[in-house]
Structure 1
């Protein structure tokens, strides 16, 4: 079935259009141009600021011209991730979507439902000719997935709305009213390359594939394997059994993604090679057993690679292993009094080692600033041999459970679904906290359809949930006065 034939057709047609356009974080030029043309084609006031955020304004429909202006907000960028075996080129190809029962999925890549469905819903409001709504300011931000620089660049004179509906949530029975803040932590160091005698060593490339991965906020509590930790665990075992030396490591691309695969190149002495197959099989079995509940497809393979003699010195290799294995990863603490809500977490996201340079990156999240600072200090202490910097910190979004907007939203939801929504804060980062800093009087909620597997090639969005989400958005816009 064609995506554009799904209901509601208007959303899927817009989603299909934007999914044909490459829109990675920091590379949104094409989607920005498309949105500007889209707004102008409707005869609506359309603006783009110096950062690349696009704002499109539409008057209220008959009888609602003087109602409170509503800001509909979503982000234009998406996470580009694909299966290791895929030849898909995000820079030139549109996402290849297909329908599987009640779900829309992508072939071997992320789908872009995060936040493409929210963007498509806003576009549907803007292009509608028959739905009732108050004055609308559509805010399409850039770079949400990587640095939230679009939201951070907003100024107080760009929007006039008193209400903001963020359409970047991923569970259709929840209205979100708060979220954690976060920061990227970058670790940079250098080492003296140790040259080995190529006649005495054989080089092997270790390839790790098949991990589940996921969103470093939404999925962090699920204890899924982290590719960096798995490879470093493997390195530690190989070092203790075979005195192996690390040549290089390459894992991860984005800090808000739990890394799913990676490689490292190691050197093994020729006199140890006969015992390597059995030893490696033992390590592989041990790791597969450890993660069988969360990552049943975990696969570690090795193959001889070209000779290269430059490796880390013994002390640097030990320091890297100790630092990574001592580093907090996953849930650091839970929110007291709120069952199941993570308070503070850390995702070890990127590891690049080679040619005398060491680079690691983490994403640390917390709803408590002092605890986030504590976590960053632990990272800094673990990497005493390197330089540690905080990059792009963003604030959390403080919940306001007594908001009049929330009361309206709860009533609308229950009228449509005949049961009340859950009202929650989440551990993932949303742009609402940043926007609230610029517009402190603006009332805000976030909601969206069911999206699973965000930030991984397993990403999918539920058809029936999109229909439910669209009805709720319509009802809410009709009700807000």
Structure 2
């Protein structure tokens, strides 16, 4: 299906996107895409190098008559979130993304698409390759590991970049110009527990929660999407209140920055409760479905009898874990007082695993206010420590403070109105952009972020608008014509 994608306009951008999507590029495993990008820059005869953490930098001189303009650093990240539907057979480490066109959208077949941030990467590649686009001196910065730690941006040292203006191409609404973002911190709770032999006269059930929309744990956190881990935990809590259940296994969610779409558990209960147990689970499932019927119409909760496992979690640890997850905040915690309709602080309970005597809960806490981020993280820490967990806070990265007086912002606002006949929305987002991190070592660099319309990022429903890519490309080319002078 990449042939169909390659025929879309602008063909230079879509062809680069198809080339990129043929290269496996999971976070933390970017060796192949790093080499791909190094080979690309060198094939063009451009200054191309890799820094000590793996970021790739490519520089291209200004076109004739544009030498007096400030150098522009174009920045996007090389890695992508790897998510797939449970029934999709796909090896992210070995296969390229399989794409398809549906109306105005490019999608993937049962997996994430990689438009986040592959469309930004593709646009930069098209600019570097072009011999017809007018532009000032360009510096392409392709960072690594944005999705699972932003270690590329964090590891970029001062003095490597030469640009005075940074255009980050990693936002997802084509009528928005982003001037700020949230920071984040990983909260991880772990504990060992004793496993007990399953008593006689027990029956076992597999409980399944799936069919949720999922999505980006920053950009979509305010939408009220269901969280599979919280739904599963609610089922287990309610069942435990009425029956003596034993949890053998829980496996829910995947990545910290993806709202969990699926969760699976295996539990045991005395055979005398069989009829009442199934009825209780299905009745509560009906209640939850009714609560989420408008937001999650495809929510599925299933229960089926399975073979009795050999072991289960000891009751005290089980009760404490379930109660801690129930108490832990998930979703929007506070809205911003500084900007209308902006989420200030949130948490995503992204991953819950309990098996073989070990349990782990992974969260991503975000906020545009650093003190509020740490306050919520400590609240989560306390809840899980009371459950006997060892809690670590890691991967702390700063937000990006808005600068409404930015010179490049004025260029983008004026250009958007001139080209499209209406004003753009100047916003800050609740996602984590690399601008805040890059700004620590490059405090004088004027930064802005924009991009094409992408929906469902970090989920197999990810899709990018074809017409929006055309709009984004046109906007980018017009911006480069009006970059301020040195």
When the two structures are superposed, what TM-score results if normalisation uses the length of structure 1? Answer: 0.98
Measure the CA separation in 2 of the matches of 1:153 and 1:93.
29
Please point out which of 64, 67, 81 is paired with 2:66: 64
Measure the CA separation in 1 of the matches of 2:268 and 2:215.
31
1:416 is the counterpart of 2:414: no
3-state SS, counterpart of residue 71 of structure 1: strand
Query: How far has the Cα of 1:148 moved from its partner?
Result: 0.2
1:442 is the counterpart of 2:445: yes
Tell me which residue corresponds to 1:7.
Answer: 9
Matches within 5 A, 1:186-197: 186-197=188-199
Tell me which residue corresponds to 1:182.
Answer: 184
Query: How far has the Cα of 1:160 moved from its partner?
Result: 0.8
Tell me which residue corresponds to 2:457.
Answer: 454
Measure the CA separation in 2 of the matches of 1:74 and 1:277.
49
Measure the CA separation in 2 of the matches of 1:462 and 1:376.
36
Please point out which of 467, 477, 481 is paired with 2:480: 477
Query: How far has the Cα of 1:157 moved from its partner?
Result: 1.8
Unaligned ranges ≥5, structure 1: none
Unaligned ranges ≥5, structure 2: none
Query: How far has the Cα of 1:262 moved from its partner?
Result: 1.5
Please point out which of 120, 123, 129 is paired with 1:121: 123
Measure the CA separation in 2 of the matches of 1:337 and 1:17.
42
Measure the CA separation in 2 of the matches of 1:157 and 1:336.
36
Q: How many residues align?
A: 480
Tell me which residue corresponds to 1:400.
Answer: 403
Tell me which residue corresponds to 2:223.
Answer: 222
Measure the CA separation in 2 of the matches of 1:276 and 1:345.
34
The 8 Å contact of residues 49 and 57 in structure 2, kept in 1 or not, is answered as yes
The 8 Å contact of residues 176 and 450 in structure 2, kept in 1 or not, is answered as yes
Query: How far has the Cα of 1:155 moved from its partner?
Result: 0.5
Tell me which residue corresponds to 2:342.
Answer: 341
Matches within 5 A, 1:88-107: 88-107=90-109
Tell me which residue corresponds to 2:248.
Answer: 247
The 8 Å contact of residues 353 and 359 in structure 2, kept in 1 or not, is answered as yes
3-state SS, counterpart of residue 86 of structure 1: coil
Measure the CA separation in 1 of the matches of 2:4 and 2:401.
41
3-state SS, counterpart of residue 349 of structure 1: strand
3-state SS, counterpart of residue 111 of structure 2: coil
Q: Deviations over 1:275-307 (max 9, x none)?
A: 333223212212211221211111111223333
Query: How far has the Cα of 1:253 moved from its partner?
Result: 1.8
Measure the CA separation in 2 of the matches of 1:293 and 1:149.
38
Measure the CA separation in 2 of the matches of 1:284 and 1:252.
19
What RMSD over aligned residues (CA atoms) do the two structures have, in Å?
1.1
Please point out which of 17, 23, 26 is paired with 2:25: 23
Measure the CA separation in 2 of the matches of 1:371 and 1:157.
32
Tell me which residue corresponds to 1:354.
Answer: 355
Tell me which residue corresponds to 1:259.
Answer: 260
Matches within 5 A, 1:31-430: 31-197=33-199, 199-384=200-385, 385-430=388-433
